[in-house]
Amino acid sequence: MKQKPALYTLDHGIEVVGEYPATAKNRYARLRIRPHRFFPGVPVVSNGIYVRKSRVLLAAKLGRALSPAEHAHHDDEDRTNDTAGNIELLTAAEHNQHHKTGTKHSAETKQKISDGLKRHHSTKKEKA
């Protein structure tokens, strides 16, 4: 089967073969790219992989793969603004702290968290 030509190629040879805007189901824009060493383990579908556009742009900018604990943060908080200058690298903890600072859990949410942790720890004890 003949491959479709790339729409464009980013730094480090990342070939983009499709672009998909954010939708209600996928809140972030995605790119379909040819399999690349910066995205190991991503399932290949018809000789392409789907990755969030912000992660692809950040990986191309940094020249390396991102770990699962590294997040592509939109500096202006606009998920649709995927320009290279608007995307910065944050750890999961930094990203969570940035977005959760000043928020408080309701009593109902605290109870759900507590119940979930209790279930998790009781399951761990049963397995031990």
92 falls within a domain: yes
Q: Give the pLDDT score at 27.
A: 87
Mean pLDDT computed over 19-36: 92
| 55 neighbors 66 (Cβ within 8 angstroms) | yes
- Tell me the residue range of the domain where 99 lies: 8-127
* Overall domain count for the chain: 1
Model confidence at 125: pLDDT above 70: no
2 falls within a domain: no
Mean pLDDT computed over 66-70: 90
Q: Give the pLDDT score at 102.
A: 63
Phi, psi of 67 (to 5 degrees): -80, 160
Whole-number percent of the chain with pLDDT over 70: 90
Mean pLDDT computed over 105-117: 86
Average pLDDT, the chain: 87
113 falls within a domain: yes
Q: Give the pLDDT score at 1.
A: 61
50 falls within a domain: yes
Q: How confident is the model at residue 103 (pLDDT cuts 50, 70, 90)?
A: low
Mean pLDDT computed over 86-101: 78
108 falls within a domain: yes
pTM passes above 0.75: no
Q: Give the pLDDT score at 104.
A: 72
115 falls within a domain: yes
94 falls within a domain: yes
3 falls within a domain: no
Following CA atoms 64, 68, 72, 77 in sequence, which dihedral angle do they give, to the nearest 10 degrees? Answer: 180
Q: What letter represents residue 35's amino acid?
A: P
Q: Give the pLDDT score at 127.
A: 60
